[in-house]
Amino acid sequence: MFRAIAVTALLEAQAFKSYVLKNSQVIGGDNSQLLEIDIDAQTERVVNSELTAQTDFVKGSVVCGNTWYGIGSQQGKNSIAQVDLSTGKLTVTDVWGLWYQLRCGDQPNELYAVTAVSSPPKFALVKQTFGEHTRTDVIGEFPEVLWGGWVSIFTFSGNELQANFPVKGRLEQIASGGEMYRMDITTGNITMHKEYSAGFLGSSGVPYFVKHVEGAMTTRGIFGKEQGSASLKLCNVDFSGSKASVSKCQKLPEDYWADGASPVPCSSDGLHYFPSLGGRQESYEPINGYDLETGDFQEVYQVKGEFDQAFPDFYVGTHTCVSSTETV
């Protein structure tokens, strides 16, 4: 059984700001809105409202200094939207290939990103430089893998990129296993590769999200029974053996992680936050904080909308956050 965490016990740890792209779905209707949400004060402001329904923002986003970056998708093409959080100024840069996840670079005009080309996709880590001389440099490449469709499989921590992929057995039509790669973002070298295992004759399940701390050998992860399945479990993961051990799993509600949103740590409270499509009500979609040790959660904000319609005017798109101890 999973329960909501007592809110009063965590108020001091929740001093952070969330950034949500409230994406328009009506061509010619109201524009999309980039919202800055102060979780502590329970207030929000519209930072920018120039993006239109023609571009979807459901992949990665990040705040670097005073700039929000988000991956936009439009008819098979990607772009990077940059919004100055002080002025609301929007800059859009077209990029080549398909983009999935972002990390701040070492310089103000740089981003690291997970990208892909071809079909099926061939994944790589790149460094994108913005400005007068825009350029994209490939840092490292992954071997041929199976793409499962979830952006949350890519996570950055420190100087490390972790990537999880589905794996099909020899006689399987649908994947029921998985594998993990770690890459050093300074060199592009793959530093670890492990297949997931649940023991003799057991299936690990497909990794949807695995909590990532640079260099950590034990963690927790969300796995699906098979690729695309809503039958979820929260498990211990141990990378110390020849295979990554998946054990002591507990079943999760089917709406726990309904839309593949990337869970992100936002403050020192140890929780991971993401908008909950499964928790959507007629008048709002909640942003929840999840304890991946226990499976418990708490609602921290309600993104307002008229979600009782069959086709709402807006949906809650990409989400990221910044601790209030950081300067924005």
For residues 98 and 94, give the distance between their C-alpha atoms in angstroms, rounded to a whole number.
11
Both tokens of 127, joined, read 């460094």
Instruction: Indicate whether 226 pLDDT > 50.
Output: yes
Higher pLDDT, 328 or 99: 99
CA separation, residue 259 to residues 138, 141, 158, 278, 318 (Å)? 30, 27, 26, 8, 11
**Contact present, 38 and 15 (Cβ < 8 Å):** no
| Start-to-end CA span in the chain (Å) | 38
Q: Domain for residue 1, yes or no?
A: no
Q: Name which residue leads in pLDDT, 325 or 288.
A: 288
Length of the chain as a residue count: 328
Residue 246 lies in a domain: yes
What pLDDT was estimated at residue 10?
47
- Output the CA angle 324-278-61, nearest 5 degrees: 40
Residue 42: CATH number of its domain: 2.120.10.80
- Hey, what are 123's tokens? 């994944």
Half-sphere exposure at residue 273, Cβ-oriented, CA atoms within 13 angstroms: 28
In this structure, is residue 66 part of a structural domain? Answer: yes
Between 116-120, 204-208, 272-276, 312-316, the lowest mean confidence (pLDDT) is in: 116-120
**Residue 61 domain boundaries:** 7-323
The burial of 230, by beta-carbon neighbours within 10 Å (0-12 exposed, 13-18 middle, 19 or more buried), is given as: middle
Residue 14 DSSP code: G
Residues 128-166: tens digit of each pLDDT: 999 888 999 999 999 999 999 999 999 999 999 999 999
Beta partners for 222? 209, 234
DSSP letter, residue 9: G
For 101-110, what is each residue's pLDDT tens digit?
999 999 999 9
- 282 domain-assigned: yes
Asked whether residue 219 is domain-assigned, the answer is yes
pLDDT for the residue 201: 64
DSSP at 56: B
What is the domain count for the chain?
1
Distance, in Å, from the CA atom of 39 to the CA atom of 34, rounded to the nearest integer, reads 15
The average pLDDT across 164-175 equals: 92
Q: Is residue 2 part of a domain?
A: no
Q: pLDDT above 70 covers what percent of the chain?
A: 93
The pLDDT score that the predictor gives to residue 258 is 65
151 assigned to some structural domain: yes
Do the domain assignments include residue 328?
no
Adjacent-strand bridge partners of 157: 160
Give the span between the Cα atoms of 1 and 251, in whole angstroms: 9
What is the distance between the alpha carbons of residues 232 and 165, in angstroms, rounded to a whole number? 16
